[in-house]
Structure 1
Amino acid sequence: MTSSQIKRRLGLLSIVVSAGLLAIKFYAYHLTRSQAVLTDALESIINVFTSGFAFYSLYLAELPKDENHPYGHGKVEYLSVGFEGGLIVMAGAYILYSATLSFFHPHPVGRADWGVLLMAATAVVNLGVGLLLVRNGKELKSVALVGDGQHLYLDALTSIVSAVALLLVAATGMVEFDSAAALLLGGFILVNGWRMVRRSVSGLMDETDTAIVTEVIEELQAQRRAPWIDVHNLRVQRYGANLHIDCHMQMPYYFTLEEVHSQLFDIEELIKERFAVDVEMFVHADPCTFAACSLCLMAECPVRQHPFQHAIPWTLQNAVRNQRHRLD
């Protein structure tokens, strides 16, 4: 089974599970008339819409490059996460408003036993499916699947809080616990929705993914060869599961075009082997200068004018700068 097929099946599973649990939660609200349960059910409506959008985004992300999208369609996954986060923010705001009214005008809660049982069951299912989506999403480098799975985690947590609120109401007879739980969930949902929107904007605006950039630099450092005198201006962009990497590599100025091409080809192949996704890499070759002699590892350089002192380790701090390295 291909990665695309796995993604689509997981996306479809998320839709089916979200729709089924939504029905269960509204049935639980019908039995209990609990504000906390209603909060959880309203948040689950968002689950269904966002799971559907995530499923469609997975289809779009797999479309090949074309004239209008030379880097592919992968960034639609960030749009999916942003859409999901936006809906969650709106749901959280409405839930806070509704819970505030309920707190000042509480109403009785009934059938708490059935409510606890149903909400606990939905929490277990959401937790299991969410774990499955996040784990596979990380393996397949799918932002949409990870975001969908994290949303199911959130849904599981709200169900647990709802169940605990019903238990407290049943044990104490104080319906204020129900309204307080709804207020807590509304605020929690609002904050997490905003975080998803923030993550979406970061991806669409090509904010630096420090973890990925560090991985690329560490691989270049581990595979470092003598002709690779210096690397700088390294940038990494993510397009869905795929990566676009470009950097400047300083090499001996006397290398022939064929020798430079051979070195650049090796660099690209090493990086592609490191990541289990499609990697598009462009390396700009810079000719060395005599100022680089003291950090150059070429043992038998025919034009060396300064003795080798030591190589500069490539790190996140120096490899991303748009300037050549040199000893002080």
Structure 2
Amino acid sequence: MTSSVDAEPAPTETPEAAAPASAPVDAARVARDITRLSVVAAVVLIALKAFAYGASGSVSILASLTDSALDLAASLATFYAVRWAAAPADAEHRFGHGKGEAMSALVQSGLIFASAVFIGWEALQRIFVPQPVVAGGWAVGVVLISILITSGLVWMQGRALKQAPSLAVEGDRSHYAADLAASVVVLIGVISGAWLKAPGLDAAAGLIVAIWLFWGAVGLLRQAADQLLDRAAPEAVAAAVTSAVLSDPRIGGLHALRTRMTGSATHIQMHVDLDPALTLDQAHAIVVEAEGRIHAAVPGADVIIHPDPRLRAPSVPVTGG
């Protein structure tokens, strides 16, 4: 029985059976793969919509084409941002490059704002000076294909975010999800302009797209600002950390709990109260065990714990920057 630990696997055992039940996810690889797919999708959508606009002259299609062109710029920014953010810490960036994702989201929000202004201006002009929509069949076909491509991309980005959270990818997904809803509005506008002989509805659809994009840009800007300004992690994270630390009865309390988000990483700092009679080795062991429980509750966290020689915490846990 004692030799069973070192025994060779049975000949019938497959490599898959011998592998760990759940291998750790390579977050950087997941982000790289999904951003590459996003760039390819943007290029395909631009080609399709440019053809549809040339054939139909629809302002709704023009709005969608302009948005897709900015999508490509934003996707390229995300493509490079996730690679830069995944780079390890160096002498100039001791906390890593995680805020590169927030910078990418900031660039994306600016591009979306610009897109919304351009589309809104063009739509207003067409409302006052309507122009007919021609070749509606081609335009509708292209919009339907665009909806299918965008739906698939948004679904795959959602799967990637479940595996490896990333602000840059989340921004890209929010931006394509807005495009998906906007494409439905564009479809209505093209049909109205081509077959219902109401070109004003086509221009109105373009205006709705502009408003939708503006609202999405505001939300993305807020997320980027939260990380750039070191906003605290959600209260649920602080509660999970507190519960994990205080599950050890040797820790009398914790205080000065601070959290902040940097890209996909969460930085956590705190003071814990330990018996002053403990040796340095004993205190160190307790702190290391607490760090392990925090990592289990918040995967990928960067944790710093300072032990204080007190039996009781002088204050309640406090979160924030």
| TM-score range relative to shorter protein | 0.7 to 0.9
Runs of 4+ in 1 over 4 A off after TM superposition: none
Question: In the alignment, is residue 40 of structure 1 matched against residue 38 of structure 2?
Answer: no
CA contact (8 A) 1:232 1:319 kept: yes
Range that drifts further, 183-192 or 75-84:
183-192
Shift of 1:171: 4.2
Equivalent position of 1:246 in the other structure: 269
Shift of 1:137: 2.3
Which residue of structure 2 aligns with residue 57 of structure 1? 81
Q: Contact (CA 8 Å) 1:28, 1:114: kept in 2 or not?
A: yes
Alignment of 1:87-102 (within 5 A): 87-102=111-126
**CA–CA distance in 2 between the matches of 1:143 and 1:76?**
10
- In the alignment, the residues of structure 2 paired with residue 170 and residue 194 of structure 1 have an alpha-carbon distance, to the nearest angstrom, of 33
Q: CA deviation at 1:321?
A: 5.5
* Counterpart residue number, 1:286: 308
> 1:172 is paired with a residue of what secondary structure?
coil
Give the match for residue 198 of structure 1. Answer: 222
Check the 8 A contact 1:137/1:143 in 2, yes or no: no
**2:4 maps to which residue?**
none
**Contact kept? 2:232, 2:261, Cα under 8 Å:** no
The answer as to whether partners of 2:106 and 2:224 remain within 8 angstroms in 1 is yes
Cα deviation, residue 60, structure 1? 0.5
Work out whether residues 134 and 145 of structure 1, in 8 Å CA contact, stay in contact via their aligned partners in 2.
no
Q: What one-letter code is carried by the residue in structure 2 that aligns with 1:288?
A: R
> 1:309 corresponds to which residue?
none
- SS for the counterpart of 1:72 is coil
Report the Cα distance in structure 1 between the residues aligned to 2:310 and 2:49, rounded to whole angstroms: 67
| 8 Å Cα contact 2:60/2:186 also seen in 1 | yes
Where do 5+ consecutive residues of structure 2 fail to align?
1-24
2:238 alignment counterpart: 213
2:318 is aligned to 320
- Structure 1 unaligned spans of 5+: 297-311, 313-317, 323-328
Cα displacement (A) at 1:17: 0.7
Q: Distance in 2 between matches of 1:267 and 1:236?
A: 16
Aligned residue pair count: 295
AA of the residue aligned to 1:13? L
Q: Output aligned runs, 1:1-328, within 5 Å.
A: 2-210=26-234, 211-221=236-246, 224-277=247-300, 279-288=301-310, 292=312, 318-320=316-318
Q: Judge conservation of contact 2:244–2:297 (CA < 8 Å) in 1.
A: yes
Q: How large is the Cα RMSD of the aligned pairs?
A: 2.0
**Paired residues of 2:268 and 2:302 also in contact (CA < 8 A):** yes
CA distance in 1 between partners of 2:319 and 2:92 (Å):
31
Cα-to-partner distance string for 1:299-322 (whole Å, 9 max, x where unaligned):
xxxxxxxxxxxxx9xxxxx42269
Deviations 1:84-142 (A, max 9, x none): 01110111112111111111011011122221121011012111111211321242121
Per the normalisation by structure 1, the TM-score is 0.84
Separation in 2, partners of 1:235, 1:321: 5
Per-residue CA deviation, residues 233-255 of structure 1 (Å, 9 max, x unaligned), is 21122222222210111122222
Q: How far apart are residue 57 of structure 1 and its match?
A: 0.7
Report the 3-state secondary structure (helix = DSSP H, G, I; strand = E; otherwise coil) of the residue aligned with 2:101.
helix
With 87-96 and 204-213 compared, the bigger mean Cα shift is at: 204-213
> Quick one: percent identity of the two aligned structures?
25
In the alignment, the residues of structure 2 paired with residue 68 and residue 165 of structure 1 have an alpha-carbon distance, to the nearest angstrom, of 52
Contact 2:259 2:267 in 1 (8 A): yes
CA distance in 2, matches of 1:214, 1:144: 26
Residues 7-64 of structure 1: CA distance to partner in whole angstroms, max 9, x if unpaired?
2121111101101111101111112111111101101111101111101011111111
Distance (Å, rounded) in 2 between the aligned partners of 1:202 and 1:270: 26
Deviation at 1:206, TM superposition (A): 0.7
